[in-house]
Amino acid sequence: KLEEFVDMVPLTPGNTRIDLRARYYQTEATVTPGEAKGALNFTIEYR
């Protein structure tokens, strides 16, 4: 779900885990083995 807000949850002091997922989509007719590059940008807003 891109560009969607996630409900807020209470946090406790210390480490907080944020589950993120990513996947590649086929954009060409033929897929070949080799290097795969990617990038991820995300924004965290807090109150």
User: pLDDT (tens digit, 9 = 90+) per residue, 3-43?
Assistant: 777 777 788 889 888 777 888 888 889 999 999 888 888 78
- Which amino acid belongs to residue 26? Q
Task: Flag whether the pTM goes above 0.75.
Answer: no
Query: H helices then E strands: how many in the chain?
Result: 0, 0
Provide the b/e sequence for 27-43 (b: ≥16 CB within 10 Å): eeeeeeeeeeeeeeeee
CA dihedral of 8, 19, 3, 22, whole degrees rounded to 10: -170
Q: What pLDDT is stored for residue 17 in this prediction?
A: 81
Q: How confident is the model at residue 1 (pLDDT cuts 50, 70, 90)?
A: low
